[in-house]
Chain A
Amino acid sequence: MIWAYLVLLVVLIVVGYAFGRMRAVTVSRTETLHSRPSYYGAFVAIWILTPMVLVYAVGVPFANHVTETQALTVYDPALLDKELERGAALREIEAVSAGEFIGDPSPRLIAAVETYETYRAWGSNLVFLAGLALGLIGLAMTLRFVSAGFRARNHVERFIKRVLLACACVAVLTTIGIVFSVLFETIRFFNHVSPMDFLFGLHWSPQTAIRADQVGSSGAFGIVPLVVGTLLITFIAMVIAGPIGLFAAIYMAEYATPRFRSIAKPILEILAGIPTVVLGFFAALTVAPSLREAGFTLGLDVASESALAAGVVMGMMIIPFVSSLSDDVINAVPQSMRDGSLAMGATKSETVKKVILPAALPGIVSAFMLAISAAVGETMIVVMAAGLAANLTINPLEAVTTFTVQIKTILVGDQEFDSAKTLSAFALGFVLFFFTLMLNVIALEIVKRYREQYD
Chain B
Amino acid sequence: MTAAVQLAQNDPQPVAEANGRSKVIARDVNVYYGDKHALRNVDLDIPENAVTALIGPSGCGKTTFLRCINRMNDTIPTARVTGRLEIDGRDVHDPEIDVVQLRARVGMVFQKPNPFPKSIFENVAYGPRIHGLARNKSDMEEIVIGSLRRAGLYEEVKDRLGESGTALSGGQQQRLCIARAIAVSPDVILMDEPCSALDPIATAKIEELMDELRTNFTIVIVTHSMQQAARVSQRTAFFHLGILVEQGVTGEIFTAPKDQRTQDYITGRFG
Q: A interface vs B, CB < 8 Å?
A: 257-258, 334, 336-347, 350, 354-355, 358-359, 453-455
CB-CB contacts of B49-85 with A at 8 A, as 1s and 0s?
0000000000000000000001010010100000000
Across the interface, name the chain A residue whose C-beta is closest to B128. Answer: A344
Contact status A454-B117, CB under 8 Å: yes
- In Å, the complex CA distance between A454 and B77 comes to 25
B149 contacts A by Cβ under 8 Å: no
B116 contacts A by Cβ under 8 Å: yes
- Give, as a whole number of angstroms, the nearest-CB distance from B222 to chain A: 14
Contact status B126-A347, CB under 8 Å: no
Q: Which of B106-133 contact A (CB under 8 A)?
A: 107-108, 110, 112, 114-118, 126-127, 130-131
Contact status B114-A344, CB under 8 Å: no
Could you write out 25 A-B pairs with CB less than 8 Å apart? A257-B77, A337-B117, A338-B75, A339-B108, A339-B114, A340-B110, A340-B114, A340-B116, A343-B108, A343-B110, A344-B103, A344-B104, A344-B127, A344-B181, A345-B102, A345-B103, A345-B104, A345-B130, A346-B130, A354-B126, A355-B116, A359-B117, A453-B164, A454-B117, A455-B166
- In Å, the complex CA distance between A175 and B70 comes to 56
Which of B72, B103, B115, B116 has the most C-beta atoms of chain A within 10 angstroms of its own C-beta?
A: B116
Contact status B117-A343, CB under 8 Å: no
- In Å, the complex CA distance between A359 and B117 comes to 6
* Residues from chain B with Cβ under 8 Å of A257 in the complex: 77
Contact status B126-A344, CB under 8 Å: yes
* Residues from chain B with Cβ under 8 Å of A339 in the complex: 72, 75, 108, 110, 114
- In Å, the complex CA distance between A183 and B182 comes to 62
**CB-CB nearest 3 A-B residue pairs:** A345-B104, A345-B103, A336-B114
- In Å, the complex CA distance between A377 and B118 comes to 36
Across the interface, name the chain A residue whose C-beta is closest to B183. Answer: A344
* Residues from chain B with Cβ under 8 Å of A342 in the complex: 72, 75, 103
* Residues from chain A with Cβ under 8 Å of B115 in the complex: 340
- In Å, the complex CA distance between A336 and B107 comes to 15
Which residue of A338, A347, A355 is within 8 Å of B100 (Cβ)? A347
B2 contacts A by Cβ under 8 Å: no
- In Å, the complex CA distance between A334 and B111 comes to 14
- In Å, the complex CA distance between A339 and B115 comes to 11
Q: For this complex, into which size category does the number of interface residues on chain B fall?
A: 20 to 34
- In Å, the complex CA distance between A216 and B85 comes to 89
- Give, as a whole number of angstroms, the nearest-CB distance from B122 to chain A: 9
* Residues from chain A with Cβ under 8 Å of B4 in the complex: none
- In Å, the complex CA distance between A350 and B104 comes to 14
Q: B interface vs A, CB < 8 Å?
A: 70, 72, 75, 77, 100-104, 107-108, 110, 112, 114-118, 126-127, 130-131, 164, 166, 177, 180-181, 184
Contact status B117-A345, CB under 8 Å: no
* Residues from chain A with Cβ under 8 Å of B127 in the complex: 344-345
- In Å, the complex CA distance between A344 and B147 comes to 14
Contact status B75-A358, CB under 8 Å: no
* Residues from chain A with Cβ under 8 Å of B166 in the complex: 453-455
Which of B103, B114, B115 has the most C-beta atoms of chain A within 10 angstroms of its own C-beta?
A: B114
Across the interface, name the chain B residue whose C-beta is closest to A454. Answer: B117
Given contacts A257-B77, A350-B130, A358-B118, contact A343 B72 (CB under 8 A): yes
Across the interface, name the chain A residue whose C-beta is closest to B123. Answer: A340
Which of A340, A341, A355 has the most C-beta atoms of chain B within 10 angstroms of its own C-beta?
A: A340
- Give, as a whole number of angstroms, the nearest-CB distance from B113 to chain A: 9
- Give, as a whole number of angstroms, the nearest-CB distance from B102 to chain A: 8
Across the interface, name the chain B residue whose C-beta is closest to A344. Answer: B127
Contact status A344-B184, CB under 8 Å: yes
- In Å, the complex CA distance between A257 and B130 comes to 26
- Give, as a whole number of angstroms, the nearest-CB distance from A192 to chain B: 53
Contact status B130-A334, CB under 8 Å: no
Contact status A358-B117, CB under 8 Å: yes
* Residues from chain A with Cβ under 8 Å of B104 in the complex: 344-345
* Residues from chain A with Cβ under 8 Å of B130 in the complex: 344-346, 350, 354
* Residues from chain A with Cβ under 8 Å of B117 in the complex: 337, 358-359, 453-454
- In Å, the complex CA distance between A236 and B110 comes to 45
- Give, as a whole number of angstroms, the nearest-CB distance from A205 to chain B: 52
Which residue of B114, B118, B131 is within 8 Å of A334 (Cβ)? B114
* Residues from chain A with Cβ under 8 Å of B180 in the complex: 340, 344
- Give, as a whole number of angstroms, the nearest-CB distance from A340 to chain B: 4
- In Å, the complex CA distance between A345 and B110 comes to 15
Across the interface, name the chain B residue whose C-beta is closest to A359. Answer: B117
* Residues from chain B with Cβ under 8 Å of A354 in the complex: 116, 126, 130
Contact status A345-B114, CB under 8 Å: no
Which residue of A336, A341, A453 is within 8 Å of B112 (Cβ)? A336
Contact status B116-A336, CB under 8 Å: no
Across the interface, name the chain B residue whose C-beta is closest to A343. Answer: B108
Contact status B116-A341, CB under 8 Å: yes
* Residues from chain B with Cβ under 8 Å of A344 in the complex: 103-104, 107, 126-127, 130, 180-181, 184
- Give, as a whole number of angstroms, the nearest-CB distance from B217 to chain A: 15
- Give, as a whole number of angstroms, the nearest-CB distance from B161 to chain A: 18
- In Å, the complex CA distance between A342 and B116 comes to 12
* Residues from chain B with Cβ under 8 Å of A359 in the complex: 116-117
* Residues from chain A with Cβ under 8 Å of B108 in the complex: 339, 343
* Residues from chain A with Cβ under 8 Å of B102 in the complex: 345
- In Å, the complex CA distance between A346 and B126 comes to 9
* Residues from chain B with Cβ under 8 Å of A358 in the complex: 116-118
* Residues from chain A with Cβ under 8 Å of B70 in the complex: 343
- In Å, the complex CA distance between A365 and B101 comes to 34
Which residue of B101, B107, B126 is within 8 Å of A341 (Cβ)? B126
- In Å, the complex CA distance between A340 and B177 comes to 9
Across the interface, name the chain B residue whose C-beta is closest to A334. Answer: B114
Across the interface, name the chain A residue whose C-beta is closest to B127. Answer: A344
- Give, as a whole number of angstroms, the nearest-CB distance from A21 to chain B: 47
* Residues from chain A with Cβ under 8 Å of B181 in the complex: 343-344
* Residues from chain A with Cβ under 8 Å of B107 in the complex: 343-344
- Give, as a whole number of angstroms, the nearest-CB distance from A198 to chain B: 45
- Give, as a whole number of angstroms, the nearest-CB distance from B143 to chain A: 13
Across the interface, name the chain A residue whose C-beta is closest to B70. Answer: A343
- In Å, the complex CA distance between A340 and B184 comes to 14
- In Å, the complex CA distance between A455 and B165 comes to 11
Across the interface, name the chain B residue whose C-beta is closest to A339. Answer: B110
Across the interface, name the chain B residue whose C-beta is closest to A348. Answer: B75
Contact status A343-B112, CB under 8 Å: no
- In Å, the complex CA distance between A345 and B188 comes to 13
- Give, as a whole number of angstroms, the nearest-CB distance from A34 to chain B: 42
